Amino acid sequence: MARKLLLENAHIEGIHTYDVYRKNGGYRSVEKALKSMSPEDVVEEVKKSGLRGRGGAGFPTGMKWGFIAKPEGVPRHLLCNADESEPGTFKDRYLMEKIPHLLIEGMIVSSFALGANHSYIYIRGEYMYVLRILETAIAEAYANGWLGKNIMGSGFNLDLSVSPGAGAYICGEETALIESLEGKRGNPRMKPPFPAVRGLWQRPTVVNNVETIAAVVPIVNEGGDAYAQIGIGRSTGTKLISAGGNINKPGVYEIEMNITVEEFIYSDTYCGGIKNGKKLKACVPGGSSVPILPHYLVSKTAAGQDRLMTYESLSDGGFATGSMLGSGGFIVYDEDQCIVRNTWNFTRFYHHESCGQCSPCREGTGWMEKVLHRLENGHGKIEDIDLLWDIQRKIEGNTICPLGDAAAWPVASAIRHFREEFAWHVKEPKACLERNYGLVADRTFETVTA
Amino acid sequence: MKEVGRITAQFPEGMQKSALLRVLHLAQAEFGWLSVPVMDYVARLLHLNPVEVYEVATFYSMYDTKPMGKVKLEVCRTGPCMIEGAERIVKYIEYKLGIKDSETTADGVFTLKTVECLGACGYAPMLQAGEKFHEHLTEAKVDELIEQYKANPVVNYMGM
Ligand SMILES: Cc1cc2nc3c(=O)[nH]c(=O)nc-3n(C[C@H](O)[C@H](O)[C@H](O)COP(=O)(O)O)c2cc1C
Ligand code: SF4
Ligand code: FES
């Protein structure tokens, strides 16, 4: 049975309450860190653990913490990124809803490591009910002396607050998140300066994903070396994967980063195979932004090796034949799904969510959406495929923040692997609409058959 | 007002602007939508220039700057929900209520809004009404929901 470090106790009745959480070993890492470790010791354990950011980019957490500036007399901040808006991703919600105290415990230990005395959890506005679960848990933590002044007589002070967004994917980008937390529009900032030097209110700031911060708890409890022993290569520890799409058992799974993609999709421990006995067509393994993989590159890499659920293996082959682990938003497509429609849908999403600061992103996403819409709806021309290729190339790398790349990659990979399907939409303009959806605009609802 | 005080107290002296997003949620829960007088009121509460409030209210998709029905049905339309039938659910609601996306029923009870991924992709298709997530939607479930909200057009939002 796979080891679980984060969700092991998630099924215990009442684990969201302080008493049950504490009885099951909760807050041990705070005791350990505050009583017997220095902040530097905690950073050192995190470095040893090899933990990489779980928000999408996979940057080594210990190294990031090492970059935080420490000017005399200037407060520092830890911000938890609970914006979770990458399509396909719903793991952080699960974690916060089931075991809110795990995140709070992680926030305390991580804030201690960074020397932050007021930390914030920025949560997407649509998770308002989760915000209230967190606030209830935070009140319990204050009441039991884990937050506030002089925690456990250690001299360490920490306040923890939760602040909501209001419906903007871009606020998951760390500098946009900071702007939003300052009460402004979520426009990403130019880097440098990096948040580690000038972040929230121009103070040194670290932004970390919910799951990253939660993982610090077992790292402190068991030691960084023990954590690093799980997984393969530079993919250490466990990862939460939120699996959705056409599978038998969608949901949130904690995996050790050593299982194969094949096992993840087909075993009953995880996704339980493709729904309705259909065949696998494609998979987006790390949230909507990462390249889509056609079925023949899902279980095996181009070199013929088993593909593993790790950072390295999922990106094996680069963008030509690989993808990315990303945020762990695992989306599975069966043989009936239309790649053009899916690409159009994602592009519409990015166009909707572009903050509009850079013209390649603002105009390019809108243009791609239009071209994809006409392809999908039977008005496309064969040149449109090259046109799309051209637009996405002009966006990638030419923007302030990575949303531009995130919008470009799904289009590039869809064309790369499914060019024939795009061409088929041009040659058989009505076939797709009739085959897949029964939702042609000029039909009334009653005449639609399922 | 007490709630506003509690929220602003979470930020350091002089940084009360950080409370803006949350206070706008409160205002919207109270008044149903963010009219100019409501936004001006929020600006006065937080000692901000009204423009600072307008630009935030128009940036974020959860804020409504025009009147809404009592119950907003916010249906996710993004990829993972789409491949599990979200488009059919939207069509079905449009057909049931006789309105299109972002319209309100004549009795002022329902507004239909399509939205982007709400972090429930594994439980698709889904919609949000107030704070509540309704997941694994079917046409029968939609019928039920609509009946329920017709009888009692109240949703819980911001705990209000
Ligand atoms: C457009 C965009 C959206 C993002 N959304 C999220 C998000 O919802 N949650 C998240 O943790 N990180 C998100 N990120 C990544 C963050 O910018 C940042 O890298 C991350 O929060 C760092 O935390 P980590 O090192 O713990 O992963 C997003 C990045 C971009 C460019
Ligand atoms: S890339 Fe897009 S989202 Fe990012 S700053 Fe530029 S316009 Fe805004
Ligand atoms: S795609 Fe609908 S909730 Fe994520």
pLDDT in tens, A133-150: 999 999 999 999 999 999
What is the per-residue burial (b if ≥16 Cβ within 10 Å, else e) of A324-345? bbbbbbbbbbbeebbbbbbbbb
Same domain, A264 and A194: no
Same domain, A156 and A240: no
**Inter-residue contact A62 to A46 (CB < 8 Å):** yes
**Considering only CB atoms, which chain B residues are within 8 Å of A349?**
78-79, 116-117
Same domain, A55 and A106: yes
Number of domains forming the structure of chain A: 3
Same domain, A71 and A136: yes
Contacts A–B by Cβ distance under 8 A: 155
Same domain, A359 and A310: no
Long-range interactions of A346-349: CB distance < 8 A, separation 24+: A346/A87, A346/A288, A346/A407, A346/A410, A346/B78, A346/B79, A347/A372, A347/A407, A347/A410, A347/A411, A348/A373, A349/A87, A349/A169, A349/A288, A349/B78, A349/B79, A349/B116, A349/B117
Establish if A139 belongs to a structural domain.
yes
Question: What pTM did the predictor assign?
Answer: 0.96
Report residue A2's pLDDT band, with 50, 70 and 90 as the boundaries: confident
> Cα of A272 to ligand 3 centre, how many Å?
20
Starting from the CA of residue A311, give the closest ligand: 1
pLDDT at A386 exceeding the cut of 80 = yes
How does the average pLDDT of chain B come out, rounded? 95
Same domain, A292 and A314: yes
How does the average pLDDT of chain A come out, rounded? 95
pLDDT at A413 exceeding the cut of 80 = yes
* Residue-range domain boundaries for chain B: 2-59, 71-151
**Inter-residue contact B149 to B113 (CB < 8 Å):** no
Kindly tell me the burial class for residue B28, based on how many C-beta atoms sit within 10 Å of its own C-beta (0-12, 13-18, 19 or more).
buried
Sequence-ordered strand ranges (E) for A249-307 = 251-256, 280-284, 293-294
Give the model's pLDDT for residue B159: 58
Establish if A174 belongs to a structural domain.
yes
Specify the CATH number for the domain of residue A402: 1.20.1440.230
Report residue A401's pLDDT band, with 50, 70 and 90 as the boundaries: very high
Same domain, A165 and A298: no
Establish if A366 belongs to a structural domain.
yes
Same domain, A115 and A145: yes
Starting from the CA of residue B117, give the closest ligand: 3
Same domain, A125 and A203: yes
Report residue B148's pLDDT band, with 50, 70 and 90 as the boundaries: very high
Q: Which of A340, A124, A246 is nearest to B80 (CA)?
A: A246
CA neighbours closer than 13 Å in the CB half-sphere of residue A36? 6
Give pLDDT tens digits for B30-49. Answer: 999 999 999 999 999 999 99
Same domain, A197 and A74: yes
Average confidence (pLDDT) over A169-196: 98
Q: Which of A202, A249, A410 is nearest to A326 (CA)?
A: A410
pLDDT at B68 exceeding the cut of 90 = yes
Taking the domain B2-59, which CATH number applies?
A: 1.10.10
Average confidence (pLDDT) over A223-248: 98
Specify the CATH number for the domain of residue A255: 3.10.20.600
pLDDT at A119 exceeding the cut of 70 = yes
Spatial distance between the Cα atoms of B55 and A12, rounded to a whole number of angstroms: 45
Establish if A9 belongs to a structural domain.
no
Report residue B2's pLDDT band, with 50, 70 and 90 as the boundaries: confident
Establish if A1 belongs to a structural domain.
no
Domain residues for the domain of A380 are 339-447
Q: Which of B6, B18, B53, B96 to mutate to test the interface with A (most CBs of A within 10 A)?
A: B18
Give pLDDT tens digits for A327-379. Answer: 999 999 999 999 999 999 999 999 999 999 999 999 999 999 999 999 999 99
* % of chain A beyond a pLDDT of 70: 96
Task: Establish whether the linkage from the previous residue to B153 is cis, with ω within 30° of 0.
Answer: no
Going by CATH, does the domain composed of B71-151 fall within 3.40.30.10?
Answer: yes
